[in-house]
Amino acid sequence: MSPRPLAKINKIDPAELKMLKKRIDIAMAVIIFFAALLLTRLWYLQIYHGDDFAKLSEINRIRIQQIAAPRGNILDRTGQPIITNRPRFNVVWSREDAPNPDAVIKDLAKILHEDISVLLDRIRAATENPRYMPTRLKEDIDWETLVTIENKHLSLPGVRIEVVPSRDYLYGDFASHLVGYLAEISPAELAEKRYAKYQSGDQVGKQGVEKIFEEYLKGEKGRNYLEVDVHGFEQRQMQLQEPFPGNDLHLTLDIELQRAAEEAMGDKAGAVVVMEVNTGNLLVMCSTPQLHLQEFVGGISTTAWNKLLNDPLNPLLDKTIQGQYPPGSTFKIVTALAAISEGVITPDATYFCGGSLNFGNRKYGCWKKGGHGTVDFHRALVESCDVYFYSVGMRLGVDNIAKYANSMGLGKKTGIELEHEKGGMIPSTAWKQQRYKEKWQEGETLSVAIGQGYVLTTPLQLCRMTAAVVNGGTLYRPQMVQSVTAPDGRILKTFAPISDGKILGSAHSLALIQDALVGVVNSANGTAKVVKLPDVLIGGKTGTAQVVRLTQNEGLSGNNIPYKYRDHAWFTSFAPAEKPEIAVTVLVEHGQHGGSAAGPVARAVYKRYFELKAGKQGETTAEPAPSLPKDEKEE
Amino acid sequence: MLRFDRRLLLNVDWVLIGAVLVVALIGLANIYSSTHLYKETGAPLYLKELTYYLFGAAVLLLIVSIDYRVLLTLNYPLYVAMILLLLFALVFGRNVSGAQRWINLGFFRLQPSEPAKLILVITLASYYYRKETGKGFGLLDLAVPALLTGLPFILIAKQPDLGTGLLLGFIFISMTLFVKLRWATLATLLCGGLSVIPIAWKFFLKPYQRQRVETFLNPENDPLGTGYHIIQSKIAVGSGLIFGKGYMKGTQGQLDFLPERHTDFAFSVWAEEWGFMGSALLVICYFFMILWGLNIAISARDKFGVLLAFGVVSLIFWQAFINLAMVMGLLPVVGVPLPLISYGGSSLLTNLAGLGLLMNIRMRRYMGSS
Report the pLDDT value the prediction gives residue B323, as an integer from 0 to 100.
94
Those residues whose C-beta lies under 8 Å from the C-beta of residue A246, and which sit 6 or more positions away, are: A69, A70, A71, A72, A216, A217, A218, A219, A487
CA-nearest residue of chain A to B40?
Answer: A191
Average pLDDT of every residue of chain A: 84
Report the pLDDT value the prediction gives residue A99, as an integer from 0 to 100.
59
Q: Report the pLDDT averaged over residues A139-144.
A: 84
Question: What is the mean pLDDT, run by run of 10 residues, along chain B of 370 residues?
Answer: 66 91 94 76 82 94 92 93 91 66 76 93 93 76 90 87 88 89 81 80 74 66 64 88 87 70 89 94 94 93 92 96 92 88 93 95 75
Q: Which of B29, B24, B20 is nearest to B250 (CA)?
A: B29
Q: What is the sign of the dihedral through the CA atoms of A470, A473, A479 and A485?
A: negative
In this prediction, residue A105 has a pLDDT band, given cuts at 50, 70 and 90, of confident
Asked whether residue A171 carries a pLDDT value surpassing 90, the answer given is: no
Report the pLDDT value the prediction gives residue A523, as an integer from 0 to 100.
85
Lowest mean pLDDT among A70-79, A553-562, B136-145, B284-293: A553-562
Contact B264, B342 (CB under 8 A): yes
User: Around Cβ A239, how many Cβ atoms within 10 Å?
Assistant: 12
In this prediction, residue A8 has a pLDDT band, given cuts at 50, 70 and 90, of low
Q: Does residue A284 sit in helix, strand or coil?
A: strand
A45 and B228: CB-CB below 8 Å? no
Q: Report the pLDDT averaged over residues A363-390.
A: 89
- Domains in chain A (CATH in brackets) are 64-251 (3.90.1310.10), 255-292+322-481+504-619 (3.40.710.10)
| A329 carries an active-site annotation | yes
Asked whether residue A444 carries a pLDDT value surpassing 80, the answer given is: yes
Tally helices (H) and strands (E) across chain B.
14, 3
When computed from its CA atoms, the radius of gyration of chain B, rounded to whole angstroms, is 21
Q: CA–CA distance from A529 to each of A520, A522, A537, A571, B119 (Å)?
A: 7, 6, 12, 12, 87
pLDDT digits (tens, 9 = 90+) for A289-344: 888 877 776 667 788 888 888 888 888 889 999 999 999 999 999 999 999 999 88
In this prediction, residue A231 has a pLDDT band, given cuts at 50, 70 and 90, of very low
Which of B238, B302, B313 has the CB atom closest to A45's CB atom? B238
Asked whether residue A557 carries a pLDDT value surpassing 90, the answer given is: no
Those residues whose C-beta lies under 8 Å from the C-beta of residue A570, and which sit 6 or more positions away, are: A325, A327, A328, A329, A330, A462, A541, A542, A543, A544, A545, A585, A586, A587, A594, A598
Report the pLDDT value the prediction gives residue A629, as an integer from 0 to 100.
41
Those residues whose C-beta lies under 8 Å from the C-beta of residue B353, and which sit 6 or more positions away, are: B56, B59, B60, B63, B115, B118
Residues in chain A: 635
Tally helices (H) and strands (E) across chain A.
20, 23
Scan residues 213-252 of A and list those with Cβ closer than 8 Å to B. Answer: 225, 230, 238-239
As a whole-number percent, the residues of chain A with pLDDT over 70 amount to 88
Report the pLDDT value the prediction gives residue A176, as an integer from 0 to 100.
85
β-pairing, A159-169 vs B109-110, is unpaired
Report the pLDDT value the prediction gives residue B369, as an integer from 0 to 100.
47
Contacts of B317 in chain A (CB under 8 A): 31, 34
Q: Which of A423, A630, A398, A420 is nearest to A507 (CA)?
A: A630
B304 and A9: CB-CB below 8 Å? yes
Report the pLDDT value the prediction gives residue A466, as an integer from 0 to 100.
94
Contacts of A130 in chain B (CB under 8 A): 37, 255-256
Asked whether residue A257 carries a pLDDT value surpassing 60, the answer given is: yes
Pick the most confident of A157-161, A187-191, B242-246: B242-246
Report which DSSP code applies to B56. Answer: H
Better-predicted residue by pLDDT, A418 or A564: A418
CA distance A99 to chain B (A): 18
Report the pLDDT value the prediction gives residue A583, as an integer from 0 to 100.
94
Which of B69, B276, B321 has the CB atom closest to A42's CB atom? B276
Q: What is the sign of the dihedral through the CA atoms of B146, B151, B153 and B154?
A: positive
Q: Report the complex ipTM.
A: 0.92
pLDDT digits (tens, 9 = 90+) for A583-634: 999 999 888 776 778 889 999 999 999 998 888 765 544 444 444 344 333 3
List, as one string, the DSSP characters of A423-439.
--B---HHHHHHHHS-P
Asked whether residue A75 carries a pLDDT value surpassing 60, the answer given is: yes
Helix axis angle for B303-327 and B162-178, nearest 10°, is: 140
C-alpha A147/C-alpha A108 separation (Å) is 13
Report the pLDDT value the prediction gives residue B26, as an integer from 0 to 100.
94
The domain spans of chain B are 23-37+68-363
Scan residues 43-82 of A and list those with Cβ closer than 8 Å to B. Answer: 43, 45-47, 49-54, 56-57, 60-62
CA distance A17 to chain B (A): 8
pLDDT digits (tens, 9 = 90+) for A507-528: 888 999 999 999 888 888 888 8
